[in-house]
Amino acid sequence: MPTFRHGKNSRLFISTIDASSLFNEMTMSHSVDTAETTVFGKDDRTYITGQRDGTFSASGFIDATTAGTGDPFAKLRNALGSTSLLQITAVPGAPGGSTITAGSMCHMGAGVVTGFETAAPAMGVVTAKFDAHLSDRYDIGRILYAPGAARNSTIAGTAVDSGVVAGTTRGGASHFHITQAGTAGLTSVTVKTQHSSANSVWADVHTFTSTSTGVSRVASTGTIKRYVRGTISAVSGTTPAVRVAIAFARRGSVA
């Protein structure tokens, strides 16, 4: 019996922004180029695959309550023409509500912003829309840790079981989004992805240490054992209330 997800609980992390409360629709497209190989004598066309590609778009409403560095749309507008990529983690129909259930499927990529659009209808809400073209790998992975509340102490997230007893062999990519660092400053926080063969001993896969809000996308090759999880450690500062989203994608045929 399939378990369907309603889109209402979808979540979206863009760089250091938890943009979930700003958007109400998003589309994640994955595709691959095809090159035709049809030769004389064939009644049907044949193709081989080329490079994978991906795009992302989201639309919602302009938040006009903040300005300057607090403007959540500034990153999107400023990204137009920038050489920097925007790191995107999109969780369609995220189960768990404000705290996303570990293991929820997500789309993970870093993209060039190709468009930012604002519309102001006379009889409607001012809307915003942005589009991105993903650069390099557009992964499909799993949320490891994305709580609704901020944290100020160490925690190990719930283990996510791939079901592959021997683990997977093509490496993986981690996304870390620190979207809140605390009102009086954060001295340091370390976030990690870890893997384990039997949900017992956990070995670091990727690590990101930051002293403020920040974002990191890390990929590596090699074996990823059956279980993965996210952790927060070394949280220090006056009021280190950090809000973190951690996701991991296995590369190969298992997400």
Partner 1 sequence: MAVKKGAAVSGPWRVLVGLNYPPNETRAEVGDIVNDLPAADAAWLLEQGLIESPNLTVEASS
Task: Give the nearest distance from C-beta 98 to partner 1 in angstroms.
Answer: 25
- At position 197, the amino acid (one-letter code) is S
User: Burial, 46: exposed, middle or buried (Cβ in 10 Å; 0-12, 13-18, 19+)?
Assistant: exposed
Is 228 within 8 Å of 177 (Cβ atoms)? no
Q: Which is nearer to partner 1, 17 or 228 (CB)?
A: 228
Q: 175 vs 195, which CB is nearer to partner 1?
A: 195
How deeply is 53 buried, as exposed, middle or buried, from its count of CB atoms within 10 A (0-12, 13-18, 19+)? middle
Buried b (16+ CB within 10 A) or exposed e, 159-184: bbebebeebbeebbbbbbbbbbbbee
Minimal CA–CA distance to 57: which of 23, 85, 33? 23
Task: Specify the residue, 180 or 207, whose C-beta has the smaller distance to partner 1.
Answer: 207
* 88 vs 235 by CB, closer to partner 1: 235
Contacts with partner 1 by CB under 8 A lie at 156, 192, 194, 197-198, 200-204, 207, 222-223, 225, 231, 233
Mapped onto helix, strand or coil, the DSSP state of residue 212 is coil
Quick one: 115 or 222, whose CB is closer to partner 1? 222
State in angstroms the smallest separation of the CB of 192 from partner 1: 8
Nearest approach in angstroms of CB 104 to partner 1 is 23
Residue recorded with tokens 């102490």: 153
d(CA 240, CA 233): 12
Least spacing, CB of residue 159 vs partner 1, in Å = 12
User: What is the distance between the alpha carbons of residues 252 and 255, in angstroms, rounded to a whole number?
Assistant: 8
| Residue with Cβ nearer partner 1 (11 or 195) | 195
Shortest CB 224 distance to partner 1, Å: 10
Shortest CB 154 distance to partner 1, Å: 8
